[in-house]
């Protein structure tokens, strides 16, 4: 397993997958390890099992196939907390998956974590590239 997550762009990471330099599972493990080791507190929820399952099933022939991604806290992923970035909803779990997460999953990305949002944020949805410390 690589010691650190890929620090270049997503396209070159997919090229590294295709050449055998790295695998989606190795990259997901390295990314999760970097998040756990970081003091940034940038993620409100991690789903390592789902991420690793997605990485194992990744189709690296697709654009961004196997690239670990984060889903903004304001978008929904079935089975994940649906807080709306508010502590008042910290125990709410959604049963639906929003458009951004569906799009990431359809591109064979390893959706693994939820990035933080401010409670006063607008209902904007974004798929974020991996953030490392």
Tokens of 41: 């507190």
Which ranges constitute the DSSP H helices of 5-74?
10-19, 24-37, 48-57
Q: pLDDT tens track of the chain, all 133 residues? A: 788 999 999 999 999 999 999 999 999 999 999 999 999 888 888 889 988 988 999 999 988 899 988 888 888 889 999 988 888 888 999 999 888 888 877 776 666 566 666 544 433 333 333 333 3
Residue 61 is assigned to a structural domain of this protein: yes
* Domain contains 128: no
Residue 132 falls within a domain, yes or no?
Answer: no
DSSP class of residue 79 equals: T
Full residue range of the structural domain in which residue 102 is found: 10-117
- Secondary structure class of 41 (helix, strand, coil): coil
In a domain, 78, yes or no: yes
Structural domain count of the chain: 1
Is 105 a domain residue? yes
Tell me, yes or no, whether 2 lies in a domain: no
Q: Find all residues with CB under 8 Å of 131, minimum gap 6, and list them.
A: 35, 40, 42, 43, 70, 115
């Amino acid at each position: 397993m690589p010691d650190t997550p890929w620090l270049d762009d997503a396209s070159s990471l997919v090229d590294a997958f295709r050449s055998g330099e790295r695998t989606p599972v190795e990259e997901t493990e390295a990314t999760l390890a970097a998040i756990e080791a970081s003091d940034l507190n940038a993620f409100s929820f991690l789903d390592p099992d789902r991420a690793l399952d997605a990485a194992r099933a990744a189709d690296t022939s697709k654009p961004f196939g196997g690239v670990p991604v984060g889903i903004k806290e304001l978008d929904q992923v079935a089975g994940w907390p649906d807080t709306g970035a508010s502590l008042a909803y910290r125990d709410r779990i959604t049963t639906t998956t929003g458009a951004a997460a569906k799009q990431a999953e359809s591109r064979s990305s390893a959706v693994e974590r939820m990035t933080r949002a401010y409670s006063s944020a607008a209902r904007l949805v974004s798929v974020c590239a991996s953030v490392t410390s």
